[in-house]
């Protein structure tokens, strides 16, 4: 079940957190994983962990906001393997604030990574996937792309866009062998979130407040999100496209 044997995959933002967990899960399932990130140090840590299990991975530097960089990465992947089977657009950033606490530069910065980054990387690889009549794109959206989250105006705006982008790719290219889905997690206990919690006067109270949003009373672990990505990347999900895969611990159950 959920084998990715001989699949060529690329995961953006794979130097830490959810991206690293997805890269490790894919490699364990038999895929060759391109670990893509701006952070070479984090990217190489992920690759070293994968290689320590005798699985297959390599680091590739990527700035998703640069069309030229995305094209360079496409050329590298296609030169080595001739194709990409599974693309995971995981790279993303956050911002806290209402509309009155958000300026245009904040929104532009969020858009450049969370929306334009997904656009750039997918655009670079989609034509090749269509040529091979098979391709699987998985986007990391958020529960903030399904329901509004308080004080996250810019973040929600971009994640709603990712959900719309996902559905458009799925509808436009289904008959060309392309599937596209997105994962919408609730709060996830990543190294980034853990570091931010330490900045609060009472980190324990802050954790409890963030965890309480989920009906299950805790945040997700990166491995739990990676398990969903593995399912979407596998042939077992072959009839699934254009969907929001919600993994939010019950956050949206009462909405």
Active site positions, annotated: 155
d(C-alpha 64, C-alpha 117), whole Å: 5
Residue 217 phi/psi, 5° resolution? 80, 20
d(C-alpha 255, C-alpha 251), whole Å: 8
d(C-alpha 47, C-alpha 20), whole Å: 9
Contacts of 49 (CB under 8 A, 6+ apart): 20, 24
Contacts of 140 (CB under 8 A, 6+ apart): 18, 88, 89, 90, 92, 162, 182, 183, 185, 225
Listed residue (113, 205, 206, 199) closest to 162, CA to CA: 113
d(C-alpha 16, C-alpha 248), whole Å: 20
């Amino acid at each position: 079940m959920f084998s990715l044997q001989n699949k060529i995959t690329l995961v953006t933002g794979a130097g830490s957190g959810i991206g690293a967990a997805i890269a490790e899960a894919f490699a364990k399932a038999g895929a060759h994983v391109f670990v893509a990130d701006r952070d070479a140090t984090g990217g190489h840590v992920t690759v070293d962990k994968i290689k320590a299990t005798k699985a297959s991975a390599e680091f590739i530097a990527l700035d998703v906001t640069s069309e030229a960089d995305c094209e360079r990465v496409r050329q590298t992947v296609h030169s080595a393997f001739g194709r990409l089977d599974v693309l995971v657009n995981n790279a993303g950033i956050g911002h806290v604030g209402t509309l009155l606490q958000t300026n245009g530069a904040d929104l532009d910065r969020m858009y450049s990574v969370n929306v334009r980054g997904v656009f750039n990387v997918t655009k670079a690889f989609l034509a090749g996937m269509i040529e091979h009549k098979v391709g699987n794109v998985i986007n990391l959206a958020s529960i903030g792309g399904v329901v509004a989250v308080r004080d996250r105006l810019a973040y929600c705006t971009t994640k709603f866009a990712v959900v719309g982008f996902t559905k458009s790719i799925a509808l436009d290219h289904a008959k060309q062998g392309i599937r596209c889905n997105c994962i919408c997690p609730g709060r996830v206990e990543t190294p980034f979130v853990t570091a931010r919690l330490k900045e609060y006067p009472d980190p324990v109270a802050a954790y409890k407040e963030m965890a309480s949003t989920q009906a299950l009373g805790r945040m997700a672990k990166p491995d739990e999100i990676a398990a969903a990505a593995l399912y979407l990347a596998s042939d077992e999900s072959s009839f699934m496209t254009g969907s929001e895969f919600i993994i939010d611990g019950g956050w949206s159950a009462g909405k």
